[in-house]
Each structure stands twice: as C-alpha cells, then as structure tokens.
Amino acid sequence: MPGLVAVTGISGHLGRALARLLHTETLLVGIDRRPFPERPKDLVHYEVDLRKRKLDEVFRRHPLEAVIHLGLRHDPRTPFSETHSFNILGTHKLFELCVQHGVKKVVVLSSANVYGPAPDNSNFLTEEAPLMAADRYSGVRDLIELDMYAQSFLWKHPEIETVVLRPVHIVGPTIANGPSKFLRLERPITVLGFDPMIQLVHVDDVCRALALALRPGARGVYNVVGPGEVPLSTILRELGRRPIPVPHLVVRALVARAFEARLTDFPPEQVDHLQYLCAVDGSRAVRDLGYAPRRSLRETIRSVLAS
C-alpha cells in the first residue's frame, strides 16, 4: 500500500466510502471542489477545482505516491460544455502533474457503461470490447473520453502504473447515481416484454477493488463486477417495486417528454439499460488483482434501501 494517496472527488458518496476504508491504512489527501465535512481527522482536504493552478500546490506540498481519480462529474441537467471542461481539462491537468511529480500509481474510475447496452452485445463483454456507448447516448462521451485518455496514458507512461477500473452499476445506501435512484423509485418504468440481465456492485466492493488496484504491480484495464447477474424484474421484485411497463415503441418519447417537463431526471437514452444487455466479464480483475466481491447478491440489491 502506498504511503501517501490523493483521492479526487473524495466528497462524493463513493469518495467518502473509500476514505473510510483507506484512511486507516495510508495517509490520504482529499481533492474536491466541494467541502468534506466529517472527514477522518488524519485526512488533509483541499477544496480545489482540478483545472485551477492551486492543484499544483497540492502536488508540491505532498510527495504523492498514488492518485485515485474519482472526480468525474455527471449530471444530465448540467450543460455538456460545463461538465466536459471540468472532466476532461481537469483530468489532463491531473495526469500532467502526476508525470511531473513522479507519482508511481494512477487509478482511474471509469464504468462498465462505456460499452453501452445494445441488442447484439455478447452476454459478457471483456475489456477488449469496443466502447460503443456514445453511439446512442451522448451523455457518456465524457466518460468514454476519460477512459480512452487513461488508456493512452497507460501506454505512454510505462513508468507509471496506471489502472482503469470499469465497475458495473454501483449501488449502496448513500449512493445517488442513476441506477440507485431508479431502484429507489416506488413505481419505476420498465419496457414491456424486456427483462435484461443486470449487474450491480456494492460500493464497499468497489472501494475494495480500488484499494487492490493500489498494490504495486497492478496495471491495466479491469471490469469490476459484483456477486452475479439477475433479470431486472428479479431486482425490482426483491425491492418490492411495482413497475409500470411501457411498450418499447413509445417509452422513449414518453421519457423524453417527462425529462423536458422535469418530471424525471432520467434521460430517454438510458432506457436502453432497461431493454438491452450491458453486462461484463469480471474474471480479469479476479485473476490479476485478486478481487472478489464480498457482498452477496441479495445484500447488494437491498443495499439501495438502507440509508
């Protein structure tokens, strides 16, 4: 375990869970535009925008051994130009500083969403599968660009151990991403006659995978899966939801209207996840990183409830 680790986006729900896991094992430096109240006492936090010069100071002041980059902003309501600048320029700047200051390890959190749900997907996509998500949903362009950039960084800088993690839908009691919000709906919309296999992973398991990626020697691109896959209907039944099935011919138009009218924050393109497969093969992380999810399937599904 490296002795001094910076975590970007540490004030988010995932970042805080990671800080809880890591702060006993290593010294942590938090980097986020947002404050980090109730942080562990031994954690130094900087309220910095990754694009600003103040970030240089963080690197000058702390001889960082590793950087975990979670700081990707995604909000379907924020203008694309704003999040794009934050995500992409911020990442470029961060990576440059890692090179300049001889950081040995860079761990980047991407997502299995980069592959994108599609009717002709194989049941288990490996890390070599093309990143097709932006084909149908432009909202993931940032994510794909980040992933690709991290990959090229991995090849350009053999002296730095770069790890790109692509977890499936992250869920947890405090997680507030799209899938978790969807599963918290009492009456979620589903697509009539479609019931794709869904993979969820508990936030604690993702944190464990991030910690394993910090180990010396770990390098490369890894899918991170949870304890298994089940049909969407099974998840909704386990959570006691009463879904509203909508025929596929009208569901996107309906969700688009609702999105425009601000009745929902789910962009219509995300309906693809309710209709088609986007499941991945996580065996490489098991083999190379020694990662194995500890939460059971039922625990993982039910974790969206407790808070």
In the list 149, 276, 288, 292, the residue contacting another protein (rule: CB under 8 A) is: 276
Regarding 239 and contact with another protein (CB under 8 A), the answer is no
Alpha helices in the chain (DSSP H): 13-22, 54-61, 80-84, 90-100, 141-156, 178-183, 203-213, 232-238, 248-260, 272-275, 283-289, 297-302
DSSP 65-84: SEEEE------TTS-HHHHH
In the list 63, 102, 119, 290, the residue contacting another protein (rule: CB under 8 A) is: 119
Regarding 191 and contact with another protein (CB under 8 A), the answer is yes
The single residue listed with the structure tokens 């909704």 is 236
Residue 142 has a CB neighbour count (10 Å cut-off) of 21
Nearer to another protein, 183 or 230 (CB): 230
The kind and range of the H/E element at 221 are strand 220-224
Span of 142-150, 159-167, 265-273, 274-282 interacting with another protein by CB under 8 A? 274-282
CA angle 215, 220, 223 (to 5 degrees): 95
In the list 102, 130, 231, 290, the residue contacting another protein (rule: CB under 8 A) is: 231
Regarding 122 and contact with another protein (CB under 8 A), the answer is yes
* Per-residue tokens: 305: 């409830």
In the list 93, 234, 256, 267, the residue contacting another protein (rule: CB under 8 A) is: 234
Regarding 292 and contact with another protein (CB under 8 A), the answer is no
The single residue listed with the structure tokens 């090179």 is 99
In the list 161, 204, 229, 272, the residue contacting another protein (rule: CB under 8 A) is: 229
Min dist. Cβ of residue 233 to another protein (A):
8
Regarding 296 and contact with another protein (CB under 8 A), the answer is yes
56: Cβ contacts below 8 Å, ≥ 6 apart: 97
The single residue listed with the structure tokens 């200051």 is 101
The single residue listed with the structure tokens 């697509």 is 191
CA max distance for the chain? 57
Regarding 216 and contact with another protein (CB under 8 A), the answer is no
Min dist. Cβ of residue 302 to another protein (A):
12
Regarding 280 and contact with another protein (CB under 8 A), the answer is no
36: Cβ contacts below 8 Å, ≥ 6 apart: 10, 11, 16, 19, 30, 43, 45
Min dist. Cβ of residue 123 to another protein (A):
5
Site string for another protein, 132-171 (x = CB under 8 A): ----------------------------------------
Span of 89-97, 165-173, 253-261, 275-283 interacting with another protein by CB under 8 A? 275-283
In the list 277, 280, 285, 304, the residue contacting another protein (rule: CB under 8 A) is: 277
User: Residue 165 and residue 163: Cα distance in Å, rounded?
Assistant: 6
Nearer to another protein, 145 or 238 (CB): 238
Chain residues in the site for another protein (CB under 8 A): 119-126, 191-195, 197, 227-231, 234, 238, 247-248, 276-277, 281, 296-298
